[in-house]
Amino acid sequence: MDAYFYIILAIGLLSTIICLAAGIMKKAPNDATILSVAAVEVALVVYLVGSIIRVIAGEPIAGEAWEFWGYLVTAMLLPPAAVYWSILERTRWSNFVLAAVGVTALVMAARMNQIWY
């Protein structure tokens, strides 16, 4: 496991907890929930930049490269899609959609880590 995974682990879990709590408290999506998902996206962008640097530096991906990059691109598309959803549907249920982003990003980061090593 590398530092990128642990960063996404921490931010993803924190975002999930924030969004779940807001949903359980029957609140509509707010700055805290949307910004927590934005933090997940920032962590994924850092992962992307770090991965590009590692590849340029000559560190090989042990598994299939297309699979790694596919997971990363897919993970990066989830936060903007969930935020868009939460803006369109301003109900408490949108917070549960936002909560799924953190967990999904975490699982995908774990899989990306397996592919890399």
Percentage of the chain beyond pLDDT 70 is 99
Q: What CA–CA distance (Å, rounded) separates 94 from 44?
A: 21
Average pLDDT, the chain: 95
In terms of C-beta density within 10 A (0-12 exposed, 13-18 middle, 19 or more buried), how is residue 19 classed? buried
Q: Structural domain boundaries of the chain? A: 3-116
Residue 114 banded pLDDT, cuts 50, 70, 90:
very high
pLDDT reading at 88 higher than 90 = yes
User: Which top CATH class is 3-116?
Assistant: mainly alpha
Question: 2-58, pLDDT tens digit by residue?
Answer: 899 999 999 999 999 999 999 999 999 999 999 999 999 999 999 999 999 999 999
pLDDT reading at 70 higher than 90 = yes
